[in-house]
Amino acid sequence: MIRVAVSGAGGRLAGPIIDAVAMADDLQLTALYNPNRPGEEFAGLEVSTNPGDVSADVLVETAHPDVVFENLAAWRDSGMAAVVGTSGFTPERLDQLSSMWGSQRPCLVVPNFSIGAVLMMRFGREAASQFDAVEIIERHHATKPDAPSGTSLASAMGIHEAGGQSAEGSTELIAGARGADVQGVRVHSLRLPGVIAQQEVALSNPGEVLSISHLSTSYESFAAGALVAIRGVDGLEPGVHLGLDAVLQ
């Protein structure tokens, strides 16, 4: 039985993860944490506002990017393995996390828990070296706290490692028109009310375009991948790992 705690209880991502953990026969939900939700209950557990009260084998972190490092320092000191669903991990923030986390326990940063999104990222990496140019278009809800999304950042980093890049040559008449440059891969972030998560990886050669797209229609799409991460993180080497691919069979 794996003892699981969830940080960020009450948030959009935390909700389906809490429900899925509570229903799993091989997992035990032992603690919930959110200093902004004192006294609230989810899945029969009261939310704690004190990190010292959180005890588990695996901690799932879903809190806001502004507080994620503070939270992860507490979970590191408590000796828990961590699964991080918080967005916004640029290459620089991943380096910062690796330096901070140390090598006592594994920490798995998962830009997207959706199995379909993980496969989209994998297929984009595999295709990148076969095409002259690639760009990423991501759409998320208007209240998402960061841009580009963690999924698009991880996608761009993977495409870069595989040898993919965006075409250059156009002059931006207005700064930002070509999108953000993430290691040579252009990322365009759309923020629209009513959207949950959608991403397209567009690749092209002369005479052809390949589009690899994924759409999440419900936050429930993230639950299955979160369970995979929870069950697999303790089998990883100590230190920081990126992506659900690290534990997805």
> Which residues are annotated as catalytic?
140, 144
Tokens of 211: 């589009």
Per DSSP, the three-state class of 216 is strand
DSSP letter string, 37-51:
STT-EETTEEEES-G
Q: Which residue has 């070296």 as its token pair?
A: 129
Write the DSSP string, 60-115.
Answer: EE---TTTHHHHHHHHHHHT-EEEE--S---HHHHHHHHHHH-SSSEEEE-S---H
List Cα–Cα distances, 4 to 16, 17, 20, 63, 238, in angstroms.
Answer: 14, 10, 11, 16, 18
Amino acid at 210: L
